[in-house]
Amino acid sequence: MSARDVGEGTDASRQWVVQLAESLEASGRAGAVVSAAFLAVPRHLFLPQVEVGEAYRDTAIVVKSDAEGLPVSASTQPAMMAIMLEQLGLAAGQRVLEVGAGTGYNAAVMAQLVGDSGSVVTIDVESDLVVQARANLAAAQCHGVTVICGDGADGAPDFAPFDRIIVTAGAWDVAPQWLAQLGDGGRIVLPLSVRGIQLSAAFSRGGTGAWVSGSARRCQFIRMTGGSSGPESVVPLGPQPGLHALVADGPAPEAGPLYEALSGPVTEESAGLRVGGMAELVDLDLWLALTEPGLTRVNLMGRHEGRASTAQQRIADLLPLGGYTRVGSSGQLQVAALAVPRGPAEHGSLAVAISGYGAGSGALAGYLAERATVWNALGRPGAASLKLSAYPTGTVPQTHEGAMIIRRPNVALVAGWPAN
Q: Mark whether 119 is an active-site residue.
A: no
Backbone angles phi, psi at 152, to 5 degrees: -60, -25
User: How many angstroms separate the CA atoms of 119 and 155, rounded?
Assistant: 15
Distance of CA 338 to the CA centre of its chain: 19
SS (H, E, C) the chain: CCHHHHHCCCHHHHHHHHHHHHHHHHCCCCCHHHHHHHHCCCHHHHCCCCCHHHHCCCCCEEEEECCCCCEEEEECCHHHHHHHHHHHCCCCCCEEEEECCCCCHHHHHHHHHHCCCCEEEEEECCHHHHHHHHHHHHHCCCCCEEEEECCHHHCCHHHCCEEEEEECCEECCCCHHHHHCEEEEEEEEEEEEECCEEEEEEEEECCCCCEEEEEEEECCCCECCCCCCCCCEEEEECCCCCEEEEECCCCCCCHHHHHHHHHCCEEEEEEEEEECCHHHHHHHHHHHHHHCCCCEEEEEECCCCCCCCHHHHHHHCCCCCCEEEEECCCCCEEEEEECCCCCCCECCEEEEEEEEECCCCHHHHHHHHHHHHHHHHCCCCCHHHCEEEEEECCCCCCCCCCEEEEECCCEEEEEECCCC
Burial of 409 (0-12, 13-18, 19+ CB in 10 A): middle
Please return the burial class of 210, using the count of CB atoms within 10 Å of its CB with bins 0-12, 13-18 and 19+. Answer: buried
Which member of 13, 35, 73, 361 is catalytic? 73
Residues labelled as active-site residues: 73
